[in-house]
Amino acid sequence: MTTQEVGRPRRRKEDARLLTGRTQWTDNLSRPGTLHVMFLRSPMAHARITRVDVSGARGLPGVVAAFSGQDFEAEQGSLPCAWPRSGDTVVPDHPPMAVSEVRYVGEAVACVVATDRYRAADALEAIEVDYEQLPAVLDMNEALGDSSARVHESGNRAFTYRTTSGDLDAAFRDAPVVIDRTFVQQRLIPSAMEPRAVLCDTDGDSFTMWTSTQIPHILRTMLALVTGVAEHKLRVVAPDVGGGFGSKLQVTAEEVLCLLLARKLGKPVKWAESRSEGNLTVHHGRDQIQHLRLAADADGRIRGLQVELLADMGAYLVLLTPAVPLLGAQMFNAIYKMDAYEFACTGVFTTKMPTDAYRGAGRPEATFGIERMMDELAAELRMDPLEVRRRNWIRHEEFPFTTISGLTYDSGNYEAATERAMALFGYDKLRAEQNDRRDRGDPVQLGIGVSTYTEMCGLGPSRWFGDNNAGAGGWEHGSVRVLPTGKVEVVTGSSPHGQGHVTAWSQIVADALGVPFEDVTVLHGDTAISPKGLDTYGSRSLTIGGIAVLKACDKVRDKARKLAAHVLECSPDDLEFEAGAFTVRGTGSQKSIQELALAAFAAHDLPEGVEARLDSDVTFDPENFSFPHGTHLCAVEVDTDTGMVKIRSYVAVDDVGKVVNPLIVDGQLHGGIAQGIAQALFEEAVYDADGNLLTATMADYLLPSAADLPDFALDRTESPATSNPLGVKGVGEAGTIASTPAVVNAIVDALRPRGVVDVQMPCTPERVWRALEGARR
């Protein structure tokens, strides 16, 4: 008997190299004669470029070339936006290197190619640029006014999107309770620990690019479209990638320009960003103003929800910019039933770095909005926040359930997750302590924050992408090859950057083929090795990529069964497959998958219609999204004298369907929760009135350290997904989505008796203190 691998806390195969420094981060790689590229970046948020003179750089020691945007004008194309979801989306021209106008601080205006990075940095200082300053556009509301300066000729409105279901007027008419709130989702910098890097080599007419990307496959196609380099002459490799969180889900200016430079110079070129360059130029996340109105009955039942969003696009639309806030269109209603729902969003251009996907992409923003509103509703009705949720959520027996925004949730059990979370948290005891502290007038108040979330994971059904104006579908590819020696090689189109695909996929394959876990290896992230794929984002890796691999195993087994029947001279139906071998029922004669692989390789005697080698190739396209959910509870202590917030305990009970590797699932949740807490308490990208980024380094942009965070208590419930045969739901974004509102709800809960109804994120001591002062007045 082989042990079941799926569900086992397997230590990762990936770790050994990472622990010993035998890594292949892009910046570790080089080709003989590699030249180093550096970019000169705009110090102004908005300006006309009247002159760029790179000649001063050209003669300097070690400098091979220097170029301005003008030098690339004819060949650099426009960076792509692949998902203009709203039909009226305006997609402005977006040159990788600015030619006549800059629209955010950090936009590249010139570049130097030199023998090493120190010489390149020296030479940048010799480039002269004259700017004619134009007004910066920073505030979304002002940007939409008639008197605002324009970011683009076409104006500052990128799109307007609206969708309604049910009768909203009726829902609000005579509603006993109406809650009206405005929340701000601050701008964030994703901050993967590995800065971006690109190395591009050429042998004349073909190119290989190593790049720190989440999307080697999409990138290859896009680079071909943008630059005119033939797609079949371009190989993209994502070697070890040090985190992404959406920030490496992009077709970047630097990737395009490195390709053009390798072509121009016929030499390998490398660019590696510094962190301060990265903070300016890695796309940012979030940045929305949410105006929400909620109508409810006196017993807490929701009648209607109206959502009005302003979403900051930044200066351009990069790969998914306009689609990100619209992922919230079907998520603001969350797990709740209601009679009417309206979602409207306006995308706004400003002179800042473009926004795009950041962990959760549109769904954390939506979950934050609705979960804050549920707490406000509870407060209005003087009801327990969990009770208000209970009165509105979809009950366990109602699944599958089609929501008011048109998604069909296949499975879930909000009651079970909530009960378990409350028990683990000690909910009643903490409420008692809270009351006690309130009664005593303790300067340190206790707050309890609740968040019951769901998300649409496993992006996604290709048909849905098509219906929603996306440039591509959402399938994924997997192939499985049983090698002549019986070892198994798996190729996945999903390109990991820390999620442990090699280990999880090995577990799936080990079970499906009855082979040892150790006998499986997984290849990925290189378009020459894994030619088909749509990569990793949106918690789609396991739910789509993992399933493609599982289905490829099924196909291999079918082929092996035919071969076994032929060799054992029986009907395929007489064979039983167990522990990696086919056995003729009742006789005991058998053939192992390894023996069959050898026979299929030798191919001396194959049955009619069976080709040599035991391998298969599958793409999987899910019929629906998956919908993980959970209940997160957070207790905070707020010092009302100083505004200091301390997280006292954090409990998360998540339902991510079937679990392949509990270690990896917990790890993903830990990291996600930390990122969500960081949004609530620490992080914010801040621009000054002239459009300079004040948080351009890690000294100014506050990422939490181990000392800033508590331990998290995790538990799980399990409602298998019905949209895939493993029943998995995805986990990468769950923690981030759930934790931000849990923390802010806790802070507001602590201070509500003192009249505080909201604190804007990040809830720094100063903000909390000011909220208290404001309420006192």
Partner 1 sequence: MPRITVTVDGIQYEEDVEPRLLLVHLLRERLGKTGTPIGCDTSNCGACTVMIDGKSAKSCSVLAVQADGCDVVTIEGLGANGSLHPMQQAFHEEHALQCGYCTPGMVMAAIDLLRDDPDPSEETIRQGLEGNLCRCTGYCNIVRAVRRGAQEMGQAVRTP
Write the interaction track for partner 1 spanning residues 275-304; mark x where CB under 8 A is met and - where it is not. Answer: xx----------------------------
Q: Pick what 162 binds: ligand FES, partner 1, none; C-beta below 5 to 8 Å, kind-dependent.
A: none
Q: Distance between CA 768 and CA 432 in Å, rounded?
A: 24
Nearest approach in angstroms of CB 36 to ligand FES is 18
Determine which residue in the list 178, 225, 567, 698 makes contact with partner 1, applying CB under 8 A.
698
Write the interaction track for partner 1 spanning residues 490-509; mark x where CB under 8 A is met and - where it is not. Answer: -------xxxx---------
The smaller minimum CB distance to ligand FES, of residues 84 and 239, is found at 239
Contact between 467 and partner 1 per CB under 8 A: no
The smaller minimum CB distance to ligand FES, of residues 311 and 674, is found at 674
Q: Report the residue number whose CB is nearest to ligand FES.
A: 193
Q: How many CB atoms lie within 10 A of CB 545?
A: 29
The smaller minimum CB distance to partner 1, of residues 250 and 279, is found at 279
Q: Distance between CA 408 and CA 320 in Å, rounded?
A: 24
Nearest approach in angstroms of CB 20 to partner 1 is 6
From 145-153, 417-425, 471-479, 700-708, give the range in contact with partner 1 by CB under 8 A. 700-708
Determine which residue in the list 124, 168, 175, 192 makes contact with partner 1, applying CB under 8 A.
192
The 8-class DSSP code of residue 562 comes to H
Amino acid at 548: A
The smaller minimum CB distance to partner 1, of residues 597 and 656, is found at 656
The pair of three-digit structure tokens given for residue 531, joined into one six-digit string = 């030619």
60 strand-pairing partners: none
Contacts of 459 (CB under 8 A, 6+ apart): 465, 474, 537, 538, 539, 540, 625
Longest distance between any two alpha carbons in the chain, whole Å: 89
The smaller minimum CB distance to partner 1, of residues 117 and 337, is found at 117
Q: Distance between CA 332 and CA 341 in Å, rounded?
A: 9
From 329-337, 507-515, 671-679, 766-774, give the range in contact with partner 1 by CB under 8 A. 671-679
Nearest approach in angstroms of CB 263 to partner 1 is 25
Contacts of 239 (CB under 8 A, 6+ apart): 24, 25, 26, 29, 210, 525
Residues 97-136 that bind partner 1 (CB under 8 A): 116-118
Q: Distance between CA 205 and CA 209 in Å, rounded?
A: 13
Determine which residue in the list 109, 338, 596, 674 makes contact with partner 1, applying CB under 8 A.
674
From 180-188, 217-225, 314-322, 705-713, give the range in contact with partner 1 by CB under 8 A. 705-713
Q: Pick what 27 binds: partner 1, ligand FES, none; C-beta below 5 to 8 Å, kind-dependent.
A: partner 1
Q: Pick what 312 binds: ligand FES, partner 1, none; C-beta below 5 to 8 Å, kind-dependent.
A: none
Query: For the CA atoms of 251, 253, 258, 261, what is the dihedral angle to 10 degrees?
Result: 130
Q: Are 484 and 541 in contact (CB under 8 A)?
A: no
Q: Are 742 and 647 in contact (CB under 8 A)?
A: no
Contacts of 525 (CB under 8 A, 6+ apart): 216, 237, 238, 239, 241, 495, 496
From 17-25, 289-297, 588-596, 618-626, give the range in contact with partner 1 by CB under 8 A. 17-25
Contact between 20 and partner 1 per CB under 8 A: yes
Residues 139-168 that bind partner 1 (CB under 8 A): none
Contact between 706 and partner 1 per CB under 8 A: yes
User: HEC string of 155-166?
Assistant: CCEEEEEEEEEC
Residues 709-748 that bind partner 1 (CB under 8 A): 709, 711-712, 735
Q: Are 636 and 697 in contact (CB under 8 A)?
A: no
639 strand-pairing partners: 444
Contact between 216 and partner 1 per CB under 8 A: no
Q: Pick what 712 binds: partner 1, ligand FES, none; C-beta below 5 to 8 Å, kind-dependent.
A: partner 1
The full DSSP string for 660-689 is: S-HHHHHHHHHHHHHHHHHHHHT----B-T
Residues 25-54 that bind partner 1 (CB under 8 A): 25, 27-28
**Helix, strand or coil for residue 76?**
coil
CA nearest neighbour of 332 among 364, 300, 297, 366: 366
Contact between 15 and partner 1 per CB under 8 A: yes
Nearest approach in angstroms of CB 116 to partner 1 is 8
Nearest approach in angstroms of CB 698 to ligand FES is 7
Contact between 14 and partner 1 per CB under 8 A: yes
Contact between 375 and partner 1 per CB under 8 A: no
Q: Pick what 667 binds: ligand FES, partner 1, none; C-beta below 5 to 8 Å, kind-dependent.
A: partner 1
Chain contacts with ligand FES (rule: CB under 6 A): 193, 243, 498
Q: Pick what 767 binds: partner 1, ligand FES, none; C-beta below 5 to 8 Å, kind-dependent.
A: none
Contact between 608 and partner 1 per CB under 8 A: no
The full DSSP string for 89-139 is: -------SS-SSEE-STT-EEEEEEESSHHHHHHHHTT-EEEEEE------
Query: For the CA atoms of 146, 149, 153, 158, what is the dihedral angle to 10 degrees?
Result: -70
The smaller minimum CB distance to partner 1, of residues 536 and 631, is found at 536
Where residue 462 falls (left for φ over 0; alpha for ψ -120 to 50; beta otherwise) is alpha
Contact between 193 and partner 1 per CB under 8 A: yes
Q: Distance between CA 440 and CA 460 in Å, rounded?
A: 52
Nearest approach in angstroms of CB 500 to ligand FES is 11
Q: What are the Cα distances from residue 667, in Å, to 17, 438, 459, 611, 662?
A: 19, 36, 21, 42, 8
**Helix, strand or coil for residue 488?**
strand
The smaller minimum CB distance to partner 1, of residues 27 and 526, is found at 27
**Helix, strand or coil for residue 574?**
helix
The smaller minimum CB distance to ligand FES, of residues 293 and 497, is found at 497
The smaller minimum CB distance to partner 1, of residues 17 and 431, is found at 17
Query: Which stretches of the chain bind partner 1, using CB under 8 A?
Result: 11-12, 14-23, 25, 27-28, 116-118, 191-195, 240-243, 245, 274-276, 497-500, 663-664, 666-675, 697-699, 703, 705-707, 709, 711-712, 735
